[in-house]
Amino acid sequence: MLLCIVGAQLRDNHATAVYSRPMFGFELVGRCGRARAGLLRTPHGRVETPAFMPVGTQAGVKALTQRDLRETGAQMVLANTYHLMLRPGEELVAELGGLHGFTGWSGPFLTDSGGYQVFSLAPLRRITEQGVHFQSHIDGAAHLLGPERSIAVQEKLGADIMMAFDECPPYPAPHEAVAEATQRTTRWARRSRDAQRRGDQWLFGIVQGGVFADLRETSAVELTAMDFPGYAIGGLSVGEPKPDMRRVIGQLDALLPEKRSRYLMGVGTPLDILEGVARGVDLFDCVLPTRNARNGQLFTSEGRLSIRNARYRRDPRPPDPACGCYTCRTASRAYLRHLHMAGEMAAATLLTIHNLTHYLDTLKQVRQAILLGRFEDFRRLAHRKLRADDPGPTSLVPDE
């Protein structure tokens, strides 16, 4: 039997938080096994965790207006430092009121450090202790992105939560290379913290170490010694086998401080997220629901569905009869298939609305299950349903 607590003391913390409204905070309000239900407070509103953050790379979640996004149940939105420093530039965003004023999204924002994108997108990059020298993928201009510049940009962008600048090594990479990147990540984390000037943003550290237990342990120990208000798990979902990913998350669950929020970066499928929650993770982000929507793939309560499939040509059913989103309330599979095949942008909008709603609703149900002490039942049922899932021919990321 698992230990499930929705403690009176935790509830008291919660109540205090609500009425005294400190700018930032994170409290656990319940747990079930290792799974945690929490409440993250930011200057732009609360985030009930576990939570999924839609990705708004270029200061907008692709194919959605802010009101569509709001209706999916999104709480915190992720924006990409790398993209925004190149276009439109952080100075312009700051001038227009930071990400909140610029985009009109009034809820919390989190910005990444630019580290991951500079490694995966920028041509001609060169890593030194100072940072990463690279050329813009837009106009070829030369840039240096290091801890100081990353924090300066993120302060201009003005997200509620910023990330320390890290080095994310590719997979696979030899132990020695990963060790070096991990040590540098620790040094860069310290410089990121020292570079912070604004007092109204939280800065999270990022644990690296690839799939190597010793490096993950060192990284976690060194990072937590710096006492960040939250910790991200970086360097996963970069091609490593799923069992390795889960092992690393499980290991970090024991190493990261209980009372700080944990954020698993760039993960993932609905089952990946569920397994992350089962190992004590509070926050997730991934392009999967939004990108796959644009490619015609729907995530449903019964598994994935490719709207391109000819079997849906005359299908009058909504994408997911169990879903209450705008798309499922108003559009048939046949109509969505037509719009998608005809190249209509509205297909991307409608599929994105559904996919994000599905992710966010699922996380809400997960949280409820944790609070009710039924997380393991929920997890078992989800595995049974989604294992039978046939990703179909257009699947981009194979499910397990």
Is 98 a binding residue for a second copy by CB under 8 A? The answer is: no
CA gyration radius, the chain: 21
Residues with Cβ within 8 Å of residue 92, at least 6 apart in sequence: none
Catalytic residue among 160, 166, 253, 285: 285
Q: What are phi and psi of 366, to 5 degrees?
A: -60, -45
- Is 227 among the catalytic positions? no
Query: Quick one: 58 or 224, whose CB is closer to a second copy?
Result: 58
Active-site residue, 112 included: yes
Helices (DSSP H) in the chain: which residue ranges? 8-20, 66-71, 81-86, 90-95, 98-103, 115-120, 147-157, 175-195, 213-225, 242-255, 270-277, 288-294, 326-330, 333-341, 345-371, 375-387
Contact 224, 231 (CB under 8 A): yes
With CB under 8 A as the contact rule, which of the stretches 111-119, 180-188, 342-350, 377-385 interacts with a second copy?
342-350
Q: What CA–CA distance (Å, rounded) separates 95 from 43?
A: 19
Q: Catalytic residue, from 112, 253, 282, 399: name it.
A: 112
The single residue among 102, 165, 263, 359 that binds a second copy, judged by CB under 8 A, is: 102
CB nearer a second copy, residue 32 or residue 78: 78
Judged by CB under 8 A, the residue of 10, 37, 63, 281 near a second copy is 63
Q: Whose Cβ is closer to a second copy: residue 66's or residue 130's?
A: 66
**295 part of the interface to a second copy, by CB under 8 A:** no
Whether 51 and 284 have beta carbons less than 8 Å apart is answered as yes
Q: Which of 5, 121, 255, 334 binds a second copy (CB under 8 A)?
A: 334
| Closest to 163 (Cα-Cα) out of 99, 110, 200 | 110
- Record the tokens describing residue 106, joined without a space: 């009034």
Contact 323, 301 (CB under 8 A): yes
- Write down the least CB distance from residue 307 to a second copy, Å: 13
Interface with a second copy, residue 321, by CB under 8 A: no
Report if residue 60 touches a second copy, rule: CB under 8 A: yes
Among 62, 133, 190, 242, binds a second copy (CB under 8 A): 62
Report d(CA 238, CA 220) in Å as an integer: 19
Q: Does 141 bind a second copy (CB under 8 A)?
A: no
- Catalytic sites, residue numbers: 112, 285
Binding site for a second copy (CB under 8 A): 58-68, 83, 87-88, 92, 95-97, 102-104, 313-314, 316, 326, 330-332, 334-335, 337-339, 341-342, 344-346, 348-350
